[in-house]
Amino acid sequence: MSQTPTADELRNGLVDEILSRRSLPAEVERVMRRVPRDAFLPGLELEKAYTDQAVTIKENPDGPLALSCASVPSIVAMMLAQLDAQPGDNVLEVGAGTGYNAALLAELVGAGRVTTVDIDSDVALHARTTLNTAGYSRVKVIERDGLLSAWENAPYDRIIATVGVWDIPVTWWNQLADGGRLVLPLRWRGQTRSVALTRRGNSLVSDGVELCGFVPIIGQSGERTEPLNTDSTIRVHYDEDQDVDVDALTDTLADASLHEVLSDCRVGGEEPFDGVWLRATASDDRVCRLEVTPEALEKGLVRRPAIPVRSPALVEGDSLAYMTVHREGADLERPFQLGAAGYGTNGKALAHDLIAHIEAWSADRAAVPRLTVTPTADAAGGLSGHMIGKPESRLTLTY
């Protein structure tokens, strides 16, 4: 008769699983093995508390995305590694969630200070309650709009956001010490990347960019989502600074102008190719995200995108092209070939432009851009690379 595993065994098993896929700093591994995630998810089955999955703690009555959730543990560990919090640090967390991440931070900084803020009163109360119960009463929990930060305990050596951020608010700049680190799920051109940034005067400079997904922070409205058909089963996601004419695009995917082209790029079954998206945003302001629902796929409304819910696309006027994946040839190591499907008047040219992005990525698949962020209020000066402007910050990407 098999014995039911204990919380300690399950927790260590989860950490071992994470370590089988990525390396972690010794201190991050230590705190992941020490802090009981189940204590921050009361009522959840023990086994579910130690699976590498997100857990919703508050549903959103107005939309499909949860208002708050416990993040995927492997993403938590990855972001803590990026943050590099040290003993004695003063840390701000934006997005209290369950309180689990704040407890991990408290273990990392030791005698330092951890402040966590959340705009939702229920979430803040949950975090306060679980932190107290688990023995982390020294963590300061504040119910507040995270975009305002927490001036009471500033300046901070480290700031970490556990919600998707579209623009970096000036308040965070003002409260991050020079030389301090900011880690956040930054959103641009329809994608979200966990970016690790170090403040150097009036610049934030990246040394790490990782794919992730997070619930968007409340209060930022620079992203747009519009349907491309009457059933709203095909949608385009784009930023407010992009020239996207949704009226011109309506029903473009339903016309007979499909143009398909394959690249010379092949990938393995477990090989990620999200770097195509990242590479394209470093030179092309037409990059958006295409979302195709299962209903649209079942009806055969479009040729299947590479990843139906989030495929990179190029949009221009009444035309668009998106990435596709085809199983072609007898290459067992890399059986899949990346391609593009173009629709509309200029769909053929857009498809070939997307192929150029795919092949640029394929030439150096491990390359990661340097992201430099400066306040929009500062005069631009001397930065080379592709700039994306937002109300409070300016992103410059360079390969």
Q: What is the pTM (predicted TM-score) of this model?
A: 0.93
Residue type, 323: M
289 and 168 co-located in one domain: no
Q: What are phi and psi of 363, to 5 degrees?
A: -65, -25
Catalytic site residue from 71, 149, 206, 311: 71
Cα(311)–Cα(190) distance, integer angstroms: 9
- In order, the DSSP letters of 373-399 are EEETTSPP-S--SEEEE-SSEEEEEE-
255 and 173 co-located in one domain: no
Cα(154)–Cα(147) distance, integer angstroms: 14
* Residue 87 belongs to a domain: yes
Q: Are 238 and 228 in contact (CB under 8 A)?
A: no
**Residues in Cβ contact with 319 at an 8 Å cutoff, skipping those fewer than 6 apart:** 252, 342, 343, 344, 345, 346, 347, 349, 350
Residue type, 164: G
- In order, the DSSP letters of 185-228 are EEEETTEEEEEEEEEETTEEEEEEEEE---PBPTT---EEEEES
Cα(243)–Cα(75) distance, integer angstroms: 33
42 and 91 co-located in one domain: yes
**Residues in Cβ contact with 58 at an 8 Å cutoff, skipping those fewer than 6 apart:** 66, 67, 68, 69, 120, 122, 123
Buried b / exposed e over 381-399, threshold 16 CB at 10 Å, is: eeeeeeebebebbbbbbee
116: enclosing H helix or E strand: strand 113-118
Domain limit, last residue, from 211, 231, 247: 211
Bridge partners, 312 (sequence order): 289
Nearest to 359 by CA among 280, 271, 260: 280
Q: Are 106 and 114 in contact (CB under 8 A)?
A: yes
Which residues constitute the domain of residue 205?
A: 7-211
**What is the reported pLDDT for 64?**
53
The first and second tokens of residue 365, run together, are 């698949």
255 and 331 co-located in one domain: yes
173 and 277 co-located in one domain: no
**Domain tally for the chain?**
2
55 and 200 co-located in one domain: yes
* DSSP-H helix ranges across 207-346: 246-249, 275-281, 294-298
339: enclosing H helix or E strand: strand 336-343
Burial, 256: exposed, middle or buried (Cβ in 10 Å; 0-12, 13-18, 19+)?
A: exposed
**What is the reported pLDDT for 68?**
65
* Residue 24 belongs to a domain: yes
Collapsed DSSP state (helix, strand, coil) of residue 144? coil
66 and 194 co-located in one domain: yes
User: Helix 26-34 and helix 73-83: axis angle, to 10°?
Assistant: 140
Q: Is 311 a catalytic residue?
A: no
* Residue 380 belongs to a domain: no
Residue-by-residue pLDDT tens, the chain, 399 positions: 568 899 999 999 999 999 999 999 999 999 999 999 999 999 999 999 999 998 887 655 555 545 567 889 999 999 999 999 999 999 999 999 999 999 999 999 999 999 999 999 999 999 999 999 999 999 999 999 999 999 999 999 999 999 999 999 999 999 999 999 999 999 999 999 999 999 999 999 999 999 998 888 989 999 999 999 989 999 999 999 999 999 999 888 877 789 999 999 999 988 999 999 999 999 999 999 999 999 999 988 888 899 999 999 999 999 999 999 998 777 788 999 999 999 999 999 999 999 999 999 999 999 999 999 999 988 656 678 999 999 999 999 999
* Residue 385 belongs to a domain: no
**Residues in Cβ contact with 108 at an 8 Å cutoff, skipping those fewer than 6 apart:** 27, 28, 31, 80, 85, 86, 87, 89
* Residue 390 belongs to a domain: no
28 and 164 co-located in one domain: yes
The alpha carbon of residue 92 and the mean position of all alpha carbons in its chain are separated, in whole angstroms, by 19
* Residue 166 belongs to a domain: yes
189 and 244 co-located in one domain: no
* Residue 368 belongs to a domain: no
Sheet strands (E) in 23-112 = 55-58, 68-70, 90-94
184: enclosing H helix or E strand: strand 176-188
* Residue 379 belongs to a domain: no
Cα(157)–Cα(113) distance, integer angstroms: 10
Domain limit, last residue, from 168, 186, 211: 211
36 and 142 co-located in one domain: yes
CATH number where 51 lies? 3.40.50.150
Number of Cβ within a 10 Å radius of residue 175: 20
**What is the reported pLDDT for 381?**
61
229 and 98 co-located in one domain: no
193 and 266 co-located in one domain: no
**What is the reported pLDDT for 66?**
52
**Residues in Cβ contact with 175 at an 8 Å cutoff, skipping those fewer than 6 apart:** 92, 149, 150, 151, 154, 155, 156, 159
